[in-house]
């Protein structure tokens, strides 16, 4: 990877390896989100995709995630720039909006645990979507810091 690539190149010019390294491993994009039918507002929940490892905050089926979860979404530079369903802490969203990486990001700290210590990740704070009836999803709306 190129030295401090996240400061020197736009998202569109990153290599695959650099792009993957940008993910801070928070797991927040793998949470069920609810949208208000009237005003379109998005709400995060503490319900995780059934394939999220709750402690590592990583997908357990990353290579074939789109086959297993048809509505799993590939993050792109355009999406990070234009849509709000990525959390404000997300590295892709931050860079796309000119905010730079936070000091707890593993690329800055040099430690993959720093995202967990900073309380940004969903580590051990979520339940599987399969453990809750869909009618009760609204009870799981939370505000992540």
CA 41 – CA 13 distance, rounded (Å): 32
Judged by CB under 6 A, the stretch of 4-12, 61-69, 95-103, 132-140 that binds ligand SF4 is: 61-69
Q: Which of 11, 14, 30, 47 binds ligand SF4 (CB under 6 A)?
A: 30
Judged by CB under 6 A, the stretch of 35-43, 57-65, 96-104, 125-133 that binds ligand SF4 is: 57-65
Contact residues for 139 (Cβ-Cβ < 8 A; gap 6+): 132
Residues in binding contact with ligand SF4, number by CB under 6 A: 22
SS3 label, residue 38: coil
CA 52 – CA 142 distance, rounded (Å): 18
CA 2 – CA 10 distance, rounded (Å): 13
Comparison of 21 and 141: residue with beta carbon closer to ligand SF4: 21
Name the residues that contact ligand SF4, by CB under 6 A: 23-30, 49, 51-52, 59, 61, 65, 69, 72, 75, 86-87, 90-92
């Amino acid at each position: 990877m190129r030295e401090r690539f996240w400061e020197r190149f736009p998202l569109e010019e990153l290599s695959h390896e650099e792009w993957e390294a940008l993910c801070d491993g928070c797991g927040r994009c793998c949470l069920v989100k609810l949208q208000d039918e009237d005003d379109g507002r998005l709400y995060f929940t503490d319900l995780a995709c059934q394939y999220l490892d709750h402690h590592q905050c990583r997908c357990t089926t990353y290579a074939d995630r789109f086959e297993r979860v048809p509505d799993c979404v590939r993050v792109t530079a355009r999406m990070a720039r234009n849509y709000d369903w990525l959390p404000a802490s997300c590295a892709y969203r931050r860079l796309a909006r000119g905010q730079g990486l936070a000091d707890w990001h593993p690329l800055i700290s040099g430690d993959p645990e720093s995202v967990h210590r900073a309380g940004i990740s969903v580590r051990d704070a979520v339940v599987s979507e399969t453990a809750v009836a869909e009618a009760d999803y609204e009870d799981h709306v939370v505000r992540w810091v």
